[in-house]
Structure 1
Amino acid sequence: MNPKSVIKGRGAQLNVPNRFFEFSHETRDDFLEFCYKEGEKADKNKTRYLEVFPKTIVNKVDSPDTGMMYSMNAYQGCEHGCIYCYARNTHEYWGYSAGLDFERRILVKKETPKLLEAFIKKKHWKAHPIVMSGNTDCYQPAEQLYKITRQCLEVFLKYKHPVGIITKNSLILRDLEIIKALAKDDLIAVNVSITSLSEKTRRVLEPRTATIKKRLETVKTLADNGVPVNVMMAPIIPSINSHEILPLAKAASDHGAQSIAHTVVRLNGAIGGIFTDWIKKTLPERADKVLHQIENCHGGTLSDSRFGTRMRGEGKIAEQITNLVHIAKRKYFKDKHMPKLNCDLHEQYKSGQLKLF
């Protein structure tokens, strides 16, 4: 491929066909060559925000190995463009591709705060942590414009309801005062995703995320303000960031994180083809090695859907990764742990104010 045709600032380099559609759109090499010779752009590479109107917002999570029972997503699709993101496949349910569409067609649910409030006020609802970003990042660039996540945090605070956050964006610090107020009553836990200490690696894996420096500073700022922080070293990709487990764990601990967690990369559904295309274009010298080592972690394939093994993998390479994480936990997090969130206050505040009797 001509280097001029590489789409900069994006993870995926193509739109794979939607598995639910009979027809697909193809960008041919001769068209790309024509555009290059004519000095024209074959692709404007613009992000579009599209409003959608769901009837519900909180989802029951049936998977036993995700660590959450309820999640919610104010945005579908994610401009961060992480090439490995498991959520890419869900964009197909909305009629889009798991490739470039996932990064450039962001669906915005402006009614999320109202839907959340109605849900947690239900008479028979018993408080349980609801995780924001179970699918896509609640602090992705769209949040700067729409502020939906901030409004949801205000709802959680008003009703004293526990909430978890997963993000790789320092924009979370914009809402520090609300987060501090939630933390005061043990109502919030933050998970900051950091996959590498190398900016070079970050730029190719996660092109539109906050820098590593900013993410570590975010961990420190949250920790210094009494907010419990877990660092997600996820995913670990053999021969890309697998050698960074110990130094990354040390950096997380030094900046105040109370725990770490990890997953081994799995390229389920359409992501296998997207990742394979990406690595052969961006890291061609090690593409085959990385792909074969990922297959080694999943019984000879790029993915594994079995509960219990899909997140950690199996085989020698996956075992080495798990052992390194265990060493890191013993070495850097021996006396640290994430606190349990408080589910006892919400019932008193379900009407929006403290009940006297």
Structure 2
Amino acid sequence: MRAPKHPGIKGRGSTGYLPGRFAVTTPEAIDDGWHEADTEGDVASAPHTRVIEEVARSIITRNQSSDIPFDQSLNPYRGCEHGCSYCFARPSHAYLDLSPGLDFETKIFAKTNAPDVLRRELAKSGYRVSPISLGINTDAYQPTERKLQLTRRIIEVLAEAKHPFSLITKNALIERDLDLLAPMARERLVHVYFSITTLDNTLSSRLEPRASAPHSRLRAVKRLSEAGVPVGVMFAPVIPWVNDHELEAVLEAARESGATAAGYVLLRLPHEVAPLFRDWLQTHVPDRATHVMSTVQQLRGGKDYDSRFGTRLRGEGVYADLLARRFALASKRYGFEGRRHPPFDLTRFVPPRAPSPQGELF
């Protein structure tokens, strides 16, 4: 299954429409000569973002993956306008009969009742507090959050209940919510990670076109750190022969900005992500495309992806071993080695009062 060739779409990570693996029919555009060409490019060159309201029945997802360090997660959005070409969450749009390509970054589903559903779930008598990871599948601070403020309202519920949570983001918009995050940090209720893939603005604009620029993310790291919020950096994903040479530089810049923890994750290409990323390589770095995928397959037992727990995040083989050694040396050099965020305080949790159809007197 291949995504159609395209010279690139400004502001989008996908090079075109790719049918999902469950699609029954596949549309194909054909130029029949009846429409004049747009002088600024065809319609597909500037697809607009559409935000669709989704009413959630439940909001907290329980994790069963043995290599993921959290038990609960919460995602206020499905799809992500950041448009990261390598995003492992793209295949989730196939379950909606939508394209993991352009649809994933232009058709965003917002769970508009998420704060109310969260309050209801935290208020259940059988609920047992465990840190919630916010926005793990798609970024909780993607551009539409500026207007909808779903993530902010969710954090308000967590702050009221004194419930611990962590999040990872590529967007400096998180600075907006420092008034909530800083007080929670003082009570050991929040950890923040920034995903910083590169320090090169040009490469960033191609890999993750609508995420904050690298310098903006580093500025946000500094602001949060100065406000007392524990901040870490994830060099993720590591892409062989594209950004892997920047590992040390990213860790150094993050440490100088105040980050106190660091990690990395190797490129993951499940399902439709593989053909989408192959086309991204052919569009933006055609001279290295074959070499990149050859190395990826060496890391994945000869395949584009290996989903086994324990190896999917790190890979196997000589390159994976060298990368692990480089990370260990850089962590030691820049003061990350052995450092972790302070443990969450689970004792502060106070179940919120469940919503009542009769309202409240006090």
TM-score by length of 1: 0.93
SS at match of 1:82: coil
Aligned to 1:112: 114
| 1:18/1:96 contact within 8 Å kept | yes
Aligned to 1:344: 347
More helix as a share of residues? 1
| 1:186/1:340 contact within 8 Å kept | yes
* 1:73-94 Cα deviation digits (max 9, x unpaired): 1110000000000000111112
| 1:5/1:32 contact within 8 Å kept | no
**More off after superposition, 336-345 vs 108-117:** 336-345
Paired residue total: 349
Out of 76, 81, 96, the position equivalent to 1:74 is 76
| 2:6/2:283 contact within 8 Å kept | no
Q: CA deviation at 1:27?
A: 3.0
* 1:177-206 Cα deviation digits (max 9, x unpaired): 100111110000001110111111101110
Q: CA deviation at 1:9?
A: 0.7
Q: CA deviation at 1:167?
A: 0.5
SS at match of 1:165: strand
Q: CA deviation at 1:336?
A: 3.2
Aligned to 1:298: 300
> Structure 2 counterpart of 1:218, which letter?
A
Percent identity among equivalent residues? 36
Query: How far apart, CA to CA, are the structure 2 residues paired with 1:31 and 1:121?
Result: 59
**More off after superposition, 14-23 vs 255-264:** 14-23
SS at match of 1:344: helix
Query: How far apart, CA to CA, are the structure 2 residues paired with 1:88 and 1:217?
Result: 28
**More off after superposition, 139-148 vs 317-326:** 317-326
Aligned to 2:224: 222
Q: Mapping of 1:33-48 within 5 angstroms? A: 36=37, 41-43=42-44, 44-48=46-50
User: Would the alpha carbon gap of residues 4 and 93 (structure 1) be closer, same or farther in structure 2, given more than 3 Å must change?
Assistant: closer
SS at match of 2:235: strand
Aligned to 1:271: 273
**More off after superposition, 106-115 vs 61-70:** 61-70
Aligned to 2:357: none
Aligned to 2:197: 195
User: Would the alpha carbon gap of residues 21 and 351 (structure 1) be closer, same or farther in structure 2, given more than 3 Å must change?
Assistant: closer
The question of 1:324 aligning with 2:305 is answered no
Query: How far apart, CA to CA, are the structure 2 residues paired with 1:94 and 1:204?
Result: 26
Query: How far apart, CA to CA, are the structure 2 residues paired with 1:231 and 1:34?
Result: 49
Query: How far apart, CA to CA, are the structure 2 residues paired with 1:277 and 1:196?
Result: 20
| 1:35/1:42 contact within 8 Å kept | no
* 1:269-325 Cα deviation digits (max 9, x unpaired): 000010011110121111111111111111111111101101000011111111111
| 1:232/1:260 contact within 8 Å kept | yes
Q: CA deviation at 1:34?
A: 7.3
Aligned to 1:134: 136
| 2:12/2:83 contact within 8 Å kept | yes
SS at match of 1:86: coil
User: Would the alpha carbon gap of residues 17 and 184 (structure 1) be closer, same or farther in structure 2, given more than 3 Å must change?
Assistant: same
- What is the CA RMSD across the aligned residues, in angstroms? 2.1
User: Would the alpha carbon gap of residues 324 and 35 (structure 1) be closer, same or farther in structure 2, given more than 3 Å must change?
Assistant: farther
Q: CA deviation at 1:40?
A: 5.8
> Structure 1 counterpart of 2:101, which letter?
G
| 1:259/1:337 contact within 8 Å kept | yes
Q: Which runs of 5+ in 1 are unaligned?
A: none
User: Would the alpha carbon gap of residues 299 and 350 (structure 1) be closer, same or farther in structure 2, given more than 3 Å must change?
Assistant: same
Q: Which runs of 5+ in 2 are unaligned?
A: 355-362
* 1:93-131 Cα deviation digits (max 9, x unpaired): 122111000000000111000011111111111111111
Query: How far apart, CA to CA, are the structure 1 residues paired with 2:23 and 2:105?
Result: 19
TM-score by length of 2: 0.92
| 2:122/2:352 contact within 8 Å kept | no
Query: How far apart, CA to CA, are the structure 2 residues paired with 1:31 and 1:196?
Result: 42
User: Would the alpha carbon gap of residues 35 and 87 (structure 1) be closer, same or farther in structure 2, given more than 3 Å must change?
Assistant: farther
Query: How far apart, CA to CA, are the structure 1 residues paired with 2:264 and 2:287?
Result: 26
